[in-house]
Structure 1
Amino acid sequence: MGLDEAAAAVRDGDAAVYPTETVYGLGADATDADAVAGVFDLKGRPRDKPLSLGVPSVDAALEYTRPTEREAAFMRRFLPGPVTVVVERRETLPDNLTAGRERVGVRIPDHETALALLERTPPLTATSANRSGAPSVTRVSDLDSRVREGAGAVVDGGETPGTESTVVDPGKGVIHRRGAMADDIEAWLQAEQ
């Protein structure tokens, strides 16, 4: 399925499966509480585990977040890339996206297809396209049938590398999950204290 069809599915309130530079993602309109709830249901994910926000650029992220100067500098250094950056959210994002928390993970994939989709849609949920607890999906053929059938669109971009993004809160200097580029991120956090 093409990007225009995937964007149309998102605008209709459905989720789309799309490739990134890490694994396949599951994206629905992150500003729509009902669409976000649908992603939790598709994944079978506990509602107390927040989802991240996928956007096409740091400037787009600033419309939905309030990073500090240090956090914004970190975002401009490492995004787009295989990094999820945790910053303060704006009230325009629904509570269920962040499980009621004041901070949200921001993801800007360094992947041509993912960025092209994000340019055509509102901000998307940025979460892996697997069922909760199952391995991440690196090929469309590995999608759980419930996710495949529940998504409004599936964009096949071939096999993805499979490395998880590094999740980091640069304001607190904490790496929550080590993944791609973790050593570079750790060096930046230490140098910029």
Structure 2
Amino acid sequence: MTDPADSSPPDPRAGHRCTWAEGSALYRDYHDSEWGVPERDSRMLWETLMLEGFQAGLAWIVILRKREGFRAAFAGFDPVKVAAFDDADIERLMADPGIVRARAKIVATITGARIYNEMAARGESFADFAWGFTDGRVIRGDGHTIHASTPLSETISKELKRRGFKFVGPTIVYAWMQAVGIVDDHAAHCFRRGQA
């Protein structure tokens, strides 16, 4: 079935954005307004990491189409509320067609909320944690090379796993780094390159 959001008039910037963002209005909007924009809000950084975990094994478009459903199901990704989810909430989420119904990923999100809250209770913001690996600076890709992971995403992945996060392998972490603007991986010809 075609998503109505995927059919829109031709964009005058076609050919001047990252190739992956062409062909779908939802992808184009996400690319043009969010992807690669440096995110400094702890809660949003955590939400995006959790959604990247749900994306594992799926196309990102699936998550984009269900993002509002995820937000509704996970209490707006409020870490305090999500950390309090219990077995009944897990069963509720497993029955929710508005999200990706994968028990291990649901449990990982609840666990991730608890870890996020533990960090906050120690006075460690998730934003400081995330951006601390680059001293707060955006890493600029060369605009030509497409990476699945990097030594830095491997380092961050190991640290997230050490803290107890799940679904945070180096590839997921690198996709998250791109999404939240820790890395500017817009293509050399893309109008968004270097705007961060």
Please say whether Structure 1 and Structure 2 have the same fold, judged by a TM-score greater than 0.5.
Answer: no
With structure 1 as the length reference, what TM-score do the two structures score?
A: 0.29
Highest Rg: 1 or 2?
A: 2
With structure 2 as the length reference, what TM-score do the two structures score?
A: 0.29
